Every structure is written in structure tokens, then in C-alpha cells.
Chain A
Amino acid sequence: MDLKKGTLRQVLLITDGCSNQGEDPVAMAALAREHGITVNVIGIMEENSPEYLHKGLKEVEDISLSGGGVSQIVYTAQLSQTVQMVTRKGMTQTIHGVINSELQQILGKDSTIEDLPPEKRGEVMEVVDDLGETMDLELIILVDASGSMEKKLATVQESLIDLSISLNSRMGYNQFALFSFPGKKDDTEKLIDWTPQLNSITSAFSKLSSGGITPTGPAIKAAINEFTNRRSKRRLITGDDEEYIEGSGF
């Protein structure tokens, strides 16, 4: 696969607890990974939130593990910096994974970057850094809009604008889309269609109606569909046979 031409496809899931409706989100994350989509997860916690919410956050780690991504549990105040770090690490990890699987084709089944001597590893890392900086990125952000999230949405909004500052400082091209779950009518609602800048976000969250259910699994599935449709649509229009990075190899 030609890495230089590829686009990184990542999902960033922001939630504060347990899913309670629809498909198992861990399974949906595994499915995403099969599509070459990496799922990164941020679990938001409040300093004095009740115990049962803390338990729900175990799901956060499970989803990212099965989605080949990175996860982090964080207090609301540290959200901005965490959002950008998780996204960045998720991208690096995806590229790292692809390079690992290429290495395995050359060097054998059990070889990873870690098995190379430090000097060679340094050269590989420069390639990973290069790609992370220059590759195009398609990012779907899934925001949990269930009742318990209501007070945190202002902070989420701020952190996403901050993320846009970080990603738009990269050399590569970015496209963002923003979904919330549950939506007004369906499990998932598209709040912002694909855009290179996240500034338009300010008005998006005012439209949210926080409800009692948390359909995390269906939301991940909706993100997979969005990526798949987008890809086939683009192929139809431009005949573009663009390669996507597969987040496998872990």
C-alpha cells in the first residue's frame, strides 16, 4: 500500500459512561477496525460524579482496544489538551500499525518496530512522524448527548475548537464531521457535515436535546457507514481510487 497517498480515517468518541441501547459498542469498534477505521475514546468524569458513572468508564478502554485506538479518562477541566493528545496518538498508532504489518511481510510474522536495532527504529519513527504530519485526515467526532452530558457540552465544544487549531496547524489536509447520539429522531444525528474547519461548531450544540438513552454502538456503526458512503460517493464522482490506511497489525 502506498502510504503517501493514503488518508487516515479516525473516529473520536467522547462519552461519560455506559451505553444502554443498540449494538455492543465494543463489537462495533472491532467492525470499524476491519474497515481500516481507528476508534479513539475519551471518557469524561466529574470530580464528584457518582460511583456508578466511574464503572461505566471501563467501556471506554474496551472500545478503544477493540477499535485499535487510544483511550483516556479525564476530568472535564483537562479536556482540551486530552482531546488533541488522544487524536494525535491515535493517528500515530494507526500509522505505526500499518508499518508494523508491512515489516511483518518483509521480516516475518512476529517482527515489530521494537525488534529493530535502535538506529533503524529511529529511521522508522521519522517516517511515522512524517506521515502523521503530512497525511490527510478524515475525522468523525461522536459526542454523547445523553442527559448526564448536558453540563459538559460547553467544555466539549471548546475542546473541539481547540482540536481544530491543533490539526489545522498540520501540513496535511483535514476534514471533520460531527455527530451526536442520541439524535432528535434517530440514534445518531449529523450536526455538522464534512468541513475543513470546526469553527461552525458554536451553533451546533445548541440544537442538542439531551435524552435518557445512550446508543454508543449504533453511533459507531453510523460513523462506519458515513465513511463507507463517502468513499464510494467520491469514487463515483471522481473515479478516485484513493487508498485508505488500515488500522490493523496490532
Chain B
Amino acid sequence: MMMKNTSKGQVFKLRAGERITGKWHRNEYSIIRELGSGATGTVYLASGRNGQVAVKTGHDSMAIISEVNVLKHFSRVQGKILGPSLIDVDDFVHGQQQIPFYVMEFLKGETLFQFMKDHKPEWAGILLVQLLTDLQMLHQAGWVFGDLKPDNLLVVGPPHRVRWIDVGGTTQVGRSIKEYTEFFDRGYWGLGTRKAEPSYDLFAASMIMINLAYPQRFEKRKDGGGQLKEAVKNSSMLSPFQSVLLKGLYGKYRSAEEMRNDMVSVLNNKGTSRMSAPPAKGQRTASRSGQRVKKKKKKRAVMFETVLLGSFLFIVYLFYLVSQSM
């Protein structure tokens, strides 16, 4: 959806091979190709003095500058990087127009949907755990992501890790959400305000899972809350996470960390129950019960052995990934 901003110039595109030079800092970037475009502008892959970068240009200088402000605040957050790091901010002259742009780290990855097409469904839960880890840090720094949706997430790696792009909706805690997308907005579903608070993002995070299970999305009916509950129940991909997702949707979590920990324990239990097909008692001690079965009889079918080994490796990998995201 394009916003007609009555005081601004028109949209234009840069071509591969074109060079742009910043008016203020005199850095030169050579455009390689377009990465994508949306409401605020267009993002290009470009090469700068120190290698490949992503350049975002826009027609609305206010929107560009407020994204830059958010990215600047991120670089002040200690420890891990949240979102792409900011490299340069400048304007270039194109014909009669002065076009604002900023330069950020190029994240090489696939969109969430592309990634899930080529990977097993269990990845969805793991990516959510990673996302919640980052959200916890963002919230602690006093910010709420706002426009959280699959389009604004990339999966980089291997090792696979979810990263967010497009910080256009990122808002200081306590203010009103700057930008949102209806399907991921709790206000739209009648499940809360648009005040920037951690639970706003946790709702959207749950909706991302729902969107992965229902790629076509769906329209709201009268009772939005009940409708989402049904959607979770009726999906075999989502039902194992039902308690976590519903708490996320209904604003029952006070922090991303709480939701993350619940998610991790569901993922752990899920792995175990699949490994030991007959009803096992100690559902929690995944690897131990696995070994016990293994020792018991040599003559077990090779098939079973393979499946077992496969899921064992999967669990090890899962722990690896979860610890990665901590």
C-alpha cells in the first residue's frame, strides 16, 4: 500500500551498476541488485569500500530518518547485535531530487517462508525460540519491535539463525506502535491495545507461528480471540504448542523470556515422545531414555535404529541451536 505523501517527490529505481555518492560523507556505493521494496522504500545490495552492504533508499525522508534513529539506538545496546548494524547515513542527488538513504549490514539469508519450504516443520519452534531470545534483549533495552511478521525476518546461516530486518515499526516502550500489519496486530483481533509493551510483540510472535501453519492467512470473524484459538487447536503443527501460543495470544506472558522457556520445554518433551514410541514414563530425560532402549536388544530392526539415531541427533542439534540462541 503506497501512502500518498503530498509534500514528497516520486518513486524511482536504481539500476545495477549505478553508483551513488553520499553528499555529506562522500562514500561511494555501487548498486548490484534490488533486494526488495515495500512501503518505506527500496533496499539494494551494493558494494562499498568494505564489501557488500544493503542500501535502503526512500521517498519519505522522515520515515528513513526515524528508521535510522532506531538502528542507532540498537548499536548502543550492549552485547549481541539486534537487527542489521548501521553503517552510513547520507543523501545522494539524482537529477533534481535529493534522496535520503542509509547503509546497513547485508544479511544473507532466506525469508521465513522460503526457509520453511525446504526444512522440517520442527524448525518453526526453534526459530521462534531464537526470535524470543532476541525480543527479550530488545525489550530489556526499552524497545518493542512492533511490525513483527515473516516478511521482516530472515533466516541466515548455517548455523541457521533468525534475524530481523526492517525496524520501521520499532517503538519505545510505553508509546503507541508506529507501524503494524493487521494479521499480526492484537488490536485488529480485538485482543488488546496498540501500546508498545512486550506482550504486543509476543502476540505477533504467536501469529507468526499461526501464519506458518496457515500460509494463506485468514480473515477475522466476529470473535477474533475464539477464532485464533480454534486455528491453533485444528493445526497438527501448532497443537503441541497450544498452551504457549494461547498464552502469547492472550497477553498472559510478562516477558519474552518466560514464553521462550515454555517453548523450549515443549520442544524438549516433543522430541522424547517421538523417540520412545511405547508409552515412556520419564518424558523429560530425553537422551538417557534413548540410550536405555538402545542397549536393550541388539536384534531390533535396523529401521528403528536409524529412526532412533536420527531423532537422537535431532535432539542434540536442537540443544545446540537453543544454546546458540541464548
Contacts and interface: CB of A to CB of B under 8 A. Distances in A.
B188 A162 contact: yes
Nearest to A43: B4
Contacts of B3: 70, 72, 85-86, 89
Interface stretch (A101-109, A164-172, A199-207): A164-172
B175 A118 contact: no
Interface in B157-179: 174-177
A40 B191 CA distance: 28
A74 B4 CA distance: 11
B90 A122 contact: no
B270 interface: no
B295 to A, nearest CB: 59
Contact of B6 (A69, A74, A133): A69
A170 B61 contact: no
A165 B6 contact: no
29 contacts: A61-B4, A64-B4, A70-B3, A72-B1, A72-B3, A80-B188, A81-B1, A81-B182, A85-B1, A86-B3, A89-B3, A96-B62, A114-B61, A114-B91, A117-B24, A118-B24, A118-B68, A118-B90, A122-B68, A122-B72, A125-B62, A129-B66, A162-B188, A166-B176, A166-B194, A168-B193, A169-B187, A169-B193, A171-B175
B61 A71 contact: no
A128 interface: yes
A13 B230 CA distance: 38
User: Counting chain A CB atoms within 10 Å of each CB, which of B1, B5, B89, B176 scores highest?
Assistant: B176
Chain A: interface residue count, which band?
35 or more
B37 interface: no
Interface of B: 1, 3-7, 24, 61-62, 65-66, 68-69, 72, 89-91, 98, 100, 174-177, 180-182, 187-188, 193-195
B207 to A, nearest CB: 15
Contacts of B66: 125, 129
Nearest to A93: B7
A223 B256 CA distance: 45
B7 A250 contact: yes
Interface string A56-75: 00000100110011111110
Contacts of B24: 117-118
Contacts of B69: 122, 125-126, 129
A13 to B, nearest CB: 14
A213 interface: no
A217 B17 CA distance: 50
B41 to A, nearest CB: 15
A250 B8 CA distance: 11
A162 B194 CA distance: 10
Closest 6 CB pairs of A and B: A169-B176, A169-B194, A118-B89, A125-B65, A169-B195, A170-B176
A200 B70 CA distance: 37
B5 A113 contact: no
Nearest to A71: B4
Contacts of A71: 4, 6
A4 interface: no
A65 B187 contact: no
B96 to A, nearest CB: 13
Nearest to A74: B1
A69 B3 CA distance: 12
A20 interface: no
A229 interface: no
A155 interface: no
A133 B176 contact: yes
Interface in A87-137: 89, 92-93, 96, 113-114, 117-119, 121-122, 125-126, 128-129, 133
B166 to A, nearest CB: 16
Contacts of B98: 114
